[in-house]
Amino acid sequence: MPPREQWETFFDPAAVLKALGCRRLRGDCIEFGCGYGTFTIAAAPRVSGTLYALDIDAAMVNATVARVTQASLDNVVVEQRDLCVNGCGRPDASACFVMLFNLLHIEEPMDLLREAFRVLRPGGRMGVTHWKVDTNTPRGPTLGIRPRPEQCRDWAGQAGLQWVRYQELPGSPWHWGMVLERP
């Protein structure tokens, strides 16, 4: 990850969340790979239940905890977890929204998508973003491992998730977005 100050010049988190339908969510929300908490902080006020912000990296978990504490957010639980090995730790069909931002370049993307399917309730939605492949970007994984939106849509379908739409992300010129739903 680039330094937080640089990372957060790449997005407008509030606009991304709004565009992906993360607003006035009734229920729990789960963020896969929360990183610095860039989207956690913006999402928490939009969630009526608990927002579970999960990351494998202790430094990222600590960074997110510090921001959640500083912002006095009382509906966020931050946990260190390897989502591919241990899943998200939440019950089946218990979440109304999953945030999966800038993570599907990992070696086992299907693990994350199957886990998202498991934990979403029917009708629950997931927002996905990643670095664009068809334009020069200031950072991001090497082009060889960057997943295209069509590839992610296909993987998601294999995991049982239904494609809803591709989504332009206002204020985030280097990233594409997509909305998926558990039928």
Ligand X SMILES: C[S@@+](CC[C@H](N)C(=O)[O-])C[C@H]1O[C@@H](n2cnc3c(N)ncnc32)[C@H](O)[C@@H]1O
- Chain residues binding ligand X by CB under 6 A are 1, 33-35, 38-39, 54-57, 60, 81-84, 101-103, 106
Select 28 or 55, whichever has its Cβ closest to ligand X: 55
Neighbours of 128 (CB within 10 A): 30
- Give whichever of 123 and 145 is closer to ligand X, judged by the CB atom: 145
Shorter beta-carbon distance to ligand X: residue 34 or 68? 34
Contacts of 98 (CB under 8 A, 6+ apart): 29, 30, 31, 32, 116, 119, 120, 124, 125, 126, 127
Looking at the Cβ atoms of 22 and 103, the one nearer to ligand X is 103
Distance of alpha carbon 107 from alpha carbon 17, whole angstroms:
26
**SS3 label, residue 107:** coil
Nearest distance, CB of residue 20 and ligand X, angstroms: 12
Parallel, antiparallel or unpaired: strands 51-55 and 28-32: parallel
**Residue 105 CB, nearest approach to ligand X (Å):** 8
Q: Could you tell me the smallest distance in angstroms from the CB atom of residue 28 to ligand X?
A: 18
Mention every residue, 6+ apart, whose C-beta is less than 8 A from residue 156. Answer: 113, 126, 128, 163, 180
Q: What minimum distance in Å lies between the beta carbon of 150 and ligand X?
A: 21
Identity of the residue, 33 or 149, whose beta carbon is nearer to ligand X in the bound complex: 33
Token representation of residue 47:
């969630």
| CA gap 85, 88 in Å, rounded | 9
Nearest distance, CB of residue 183 and ligand X, angstroms? 25
